[in-house]
Amino acid sequence: MFAALACLSGALVLSLALVTASQAFTATPVDCQVHVVRQGETLWEVARGIDPEADTRAVVRRLMSLNDLPTADLVPGQPLCLP
């Protein structure tokens, strides 16, 4: 009886963990406008165009985070999610 109860408890905990993990991966994506990088365009220029009054460094960091960019290097044709 104890073994059955232990197995049932373990299954319940595992089920709850799987449901929680799946919810983390299906979170609502950030609303964004897709921008396609043009030849010679820099992330700095894109950031300045989004909010000329803001600290451009902060906007660049946000764009890098939002687009999972390891560096600020861009490639022509690359899609960027803009806030």
Kindly state whether residue 38 falls inside one of the protein's structural domains. yes
**Could you tell me the two tokens for 46?**
């894109």
**pLDDT score for 50:** 94
**Does the pTM exceed 0.85?**
no
Q: What is the C-alpha radius of gyration for the chain, rounded to an integer number of angstroms?
A: 22
CATH classification of the domain holding 52:
3.10.350.10
Residues of the chain with pLDDT under 70: 1-30
Kindly state whether residue 48 falls inside one of the protein's structural domains. yes
Number of domains in the chain: 1
**pLDDT score for 12:** 40
Kindly state whether residue 4 falls inside one of the protein's structural domains. no
Burial 14-33 (b: 16+ CB within 10 A, else e): eeeeeeeeeeeeeeeeeeee
